[in-house]
Structure 1
Amino acid sequence: MSRHSLRLRLVLAASGLVALALLLAGFGLVFIFDRILDRRTADDLDRTARYLTGQVRLSPSGSLSLPAEPADPRFATPYGGLYWQIAAPGGAELRSRSLWDAKLSLPVPEAGSASRRLDLAGPDGQRLIAVIRLFALERAGGDVPIAVAVALDRRELAGSRAEFVRLIVPSLGALGLVLALAMWVFVERALRPFHALRDDLRAIREGRRATLPENVPDEVRPLVDGLNQLIEAQDKALARARMQAGDMAHGLKTPLAVLAALARRVVGERPEISGAIDEQVLLMGRQVERSLARARVAAARALGRRSCPVAPVAERLVGALRRLPEADSLRWEVVIPASVAYPAEEGDVTEMLGNLLDNARKWAHRRVRIAAEHRAGRSILTVEDDGPGMSEAAIARIGRGRRWDESVPGTGFGLAIAADIAEETGATLDLGRSPLGGLKVELSWRDVRADTDA
Structure 2
Amino acid sequence: MIRSLRLRLAVGAVIAIGLVVLVVWLSLGRFFTDYVVARYRGEMATIIDTLAAELAVRDGELTLGRGPADPRFDLPTGGRYWQISPLKGKAMRSRSLWDTTIDVRTSTDSPYEGFSISEGPDGQPLLVHSQVLSLGANAPSVRFVASAAFPQKELDAAIGDFQGRLRLMLVATAGVLAAGAFFQGALGLVPLRRLSERAAAVRAGRARDFGTAGPSEMQPLVSEINLLLEEREVAVERARARASDLAHGLKTPLTVLAQLAEHLPPEERKLALRQVELARQRADRQLQAARMGVERMATTSIMGLGGKLVSVLRPVTAERDIAWRVSIDSSLSLDVDPADLAECLGNLLDNAAKWARSFIRFSAHRSKDEIAILIEDDGPGIAEQDRESILQRGARLDNADDREPDGTGLGLAISADIADAYGASLTLGQSDLGGLKAMLTFPVKVARRPLRDPV
Per the normalisation by structure 1, the TM-score is: 0.84
Which of 215, 234, 246 is equivalent to 1:217?
215
Q: CA deviation at 1:298?
A: 1.9
SS in 1 for 2:71: coil
- Structure 2: how far apart are the matches of 1:327 and 1:19? 82
Structure 2 segments unaligned to the other structure (5+ residues): 108-112, 447-455
Q: State the AA in 2 paired with 1:198.
A: S
Match for residue 273 of structure 2? 278
* 2:41–2:114 contact (8 Å) kept in structure 1: no
Match for residue 427 of structure 2? 430
Q: CA deviation at 1:434?
A: 1.6
* 2:119–2:126 contact (8 Å) kept in structure 1: no
* 1:431–1:440 contact (8 Å) kept in structure 2: yes
Match for residue 21 of structure 2? 22
Q: CA deviation at 1:210?
A: 1.0
* 2:423–2:442 contact (8 Å) kept in structure 1: yes
SS in 2 for 1:372: strand
- Structure 2: how far apart are the matches of 1:66 and 1:290? 121
- Structure 2: how far apart are the matches of 1:385 and 1:325? 12
- Structure 2: how far apart are the matches of 1:92 and 1:412? 125
- The Cα offsets for residues 278-309 of structure 1, whole Å up to 9 and x where unpaired, read as 33333332222222212211211xxx421222
Pair 1:343 & 2:326 matched? no
Pair 1:439 & 2:439 matched? no
Pair 1:355 & 2:329 matched? no
Q: State the AA in 2 paired with 1:291.
A: Q
Match for residue 371 of structure 1? 363
Quickly say closer, same or farther: Cα 1:83–1:106, change in 2 above 3 A: farther
- Structure 2: how far apart are the matches of 1:242 and 1:180? 55
- The Cα offsets for residues 149-207 of structure 1, whole Å up to 9 and x where unpaired, read as 22345444223333333333333222222111111110011111111111111111111
Which of 234, 239, 242 is equivalent to 1:241?
239
Q: State the AA in 2 paired with 1:367.
A: F
Q: State the AA in 1 paired with 2:49.
A: R
Pair 1:317 & 2:309 matched? yes
* 2:87–2:145 contact (8 Å) kept in structure 1: no
- Structure 1: how far apart are the matches of 2:50 and 2:75? 14
Q: CA deviation at 1:234?
A: 1.0
Quickly say closer, same or farther: Cα 1:139–1:231, change in 2 above 3 A: same
Match for residue 114 of structure 1? none
Q: CA deviation at 1:328?
A: 5.3
- The Cα offsets for residues 240-268 of structure 1, whole Å up to 9 and x where unpaired, read as 11222222222223333333333332124
Q: CA deviation at 1:211?
A: 1.1
Quickly say closer, same or farther: Cα 1:325–1:443, change in 2 above 3 A: closer
Per the normalisation by structure 2, the TM-score is: 0.84
Match for residue 416 of structure 1? 413
Match for residue 166 of structure 1? 164
Quickly say closer, same or farther: Cα 1:132–1:104, change in 2 above 3 A: closer
* 2:372–2:439 contact (8 Å) kept in structure 1: yes
Which of 390, 396, 399 is equivalent to 2:382?
390
Quickly say closer, same or farther: Cα 1:99–1:200, change in 2 above 3 A: farther
Pair 1:290 & 2:285 matched? yes
Quickly say closer, same or farther: Cα 1:281–1:394, change in 2 above 3 A: farther
How many residues were matched structurally?
432
- Structure 1: how far apart are the matches of 2:319 and 2:57? 135
| Aligned-residue identity in percent | 31
* 2:116–2:129 contact (8 Å) kept in structure 1: no
Q: Which moved more, 1:431-440 or 1:163-172?
A: 163-172
Q: CA deviation at 1:382?
A: 1.4
Match for residue 57 of structure 2? 58
Q: CA deviation at 1:142?
A: 8.4
CA RMSD for the aligned pairs? 3.2
SS in 1 for 2:115: strand
Q: Which moved more, 1:43-52 or 1:7-16?
A: 43-52
Q: Which moved more, 1:122-131 or 1:283-292?
A: 122-131
Quickly say closer, same or farther: Cα 1:61–1:179, change in 2 above 3 A: same
- Structure 2: how far apart are the matches of 1:414 and 1:128? 101
Quickly say closer, same or farther: Cα 1:27–1:391, change in 2 above 3 A: farther
* 1:403–1:410 contact (8 Å) kept in structure 2: no
Quickly say closer, same or farther: Cα 1:384–1:248, change in 2 above 3 A: same
Which of 96, 115, 118 is equivalent to 1:119?
115
Q: CA deviation at 1:230?
A: 0.8
* 1:81–1:98 contact (8 Å) kept in structure 2: no
* 1:206–1:343 contact (8 Å) kept in structure 2: yes
- Structure 2: how far apart are the matches of 1:126 and 1:154? 8
Q: State the AA in 1 paired with 2:346.
A: G
Match for residue 84 of structure 2? 86
Q: Which moved more, 1:374-383 or 1:202-211?
A: 374-383
Q: State the AA in 2 paired with 1:174.
A: A
Match for residue 208 of structure 1? 206
- The Cα offsets for residues 398-439 of structure 1, whole Å up to 9 and x where unpaired, read as 332233334324374211111222222333222222222211
Match for residue 32 of structure 1? 31
Quickly say closer, same or farther: Cα 1:142–1:325, change in 2 above 3 A: closer
- The Cα offsets for residues 6-63 of structure 1, whole Å up to 9 and x where unpaired, read as 1111111111111121122222222122112212221322232233234334323323
Quickly say closer, same or farther: Cα 1:98–1:172, change in 2 above 3 A: farther
Q: CA deviation at 1:331?
A: 0.5
Pair 1:305 & 2:302 matched? no
- Structure 2: how far apart are the matches of 1:328 and 1:57? 138
Match for residue 395 of structure 2? 403
Quickly say closer, same or farther: Cα 1:98–1:436, change in 2 above 3 A: farther
* 2:118–2:127 contact (8 Å) kept in structure 1: no
- Structure 2: how far apart are the matches of 1:84 and 1:227? 83
Quickly say closer, same or farther: Cα 1:252–1:231, change in 2 above 3 A: same
- Structure 1: how far apart are the matches of 2:258 and 2:74? 123
Q: CA deviation at 1:350?
A: 2.1
- Structure 1: how far apart are the matches of 2:272 and 2:250? 16
Q: CA deviation at 1:212?
A: 0.8
